[in-house]
Copies of this chain bind each other. A is one copy, B any other.
Amino acid sequence: MSAAEATRGRGRPRDPRTDEAILRAALELFTEHGHAGTSIEAIARRAGVGKLTVYRRWGSKDELIAAAVESARGEIPNPGTDDLDGMSYAEISQVIVDALPVSARTLAEPGYRAMLAQVFGSCVTHPGLMAAFWQNHILPRRRTVHLALSRAVDEGVLPPETDIEALIDMTVGAVLYRLLRSDPPDADELLEYLRAVYRQAGMIPRQ
């Protein structure tokens, strides 16, 4: 593994349990104390590893916290553009429908909401975290969603004038806004909410 690879965190992990322990420690500390209150040193200590072990895997605190935030998605599916090869939008739409229950359960966790508040709350004071999260995790996901929605437009499921980028923001933004309201939904309420938003977006069928 070259030094450059290590810096980018692309090296093959020696022991995946070490990665998991570091990500879990980072997620816990960040959720509880925010960006300013979380240090690589404290993360390493909680994970039971040395600082160098952390730095060998992630180039910066921002990249590590971004990866920890991403890891909080747990079992929510995260398909790449390749996974859409040969799929019709009807099939893609069924994948979306099938993923909604696990998404609702995960996103409705109080810890997930607390983490989300820390992420967006730190976007001005610590812009590097949102930049790393956007670049490393959100952007690849958006490319997949964009491809899926282009297919919906091509197949006439969505109208030709659809502004796909706006529609992605509207869908993600609605869920973000709902989660950060003062009356957070439980998993069942959030599942109903996700269905309502995806239907209103035209991304899943009305019935």
B201 and A170 contacting across the interface, CB-CB below 8 Å? yes
B130 and A124 contacting across the interface, CB-CB below 8 Å? no
Interface size of A by CB at 8 A reads 42
Task: Say yes or no for A42: interface residue by CB 8 A criterion.
Answer: no
0 or 1 for each of A182-207: is its CB under 8 Å from B? (1 = yes): 11000000000100110111000010
0 or 1 for each of A94-105: is its CB under 8 Å from B? (1 = yes): 000000000000
Task: Say yes or no for A118: interface residue by CB 8 A criterion.
Answer: yes
A163 touching B196 in the complex, CB below 8 Å, given contacts A173-B175, A177-B172, A177-B176:
yes
Residues of B within 8 A of A172 (CB): 173, 177
Task: Say yes or no for A51: interface residue by CB 8 A criterion.
Answer: no
A residues contacting B by CB (< 8 A) are 110, 113-114, 117-118, 120-125, 127, 130-131, 134, 161-163, 165-167, 169-178, 180-183, 193, 196-197, 199-201, 206
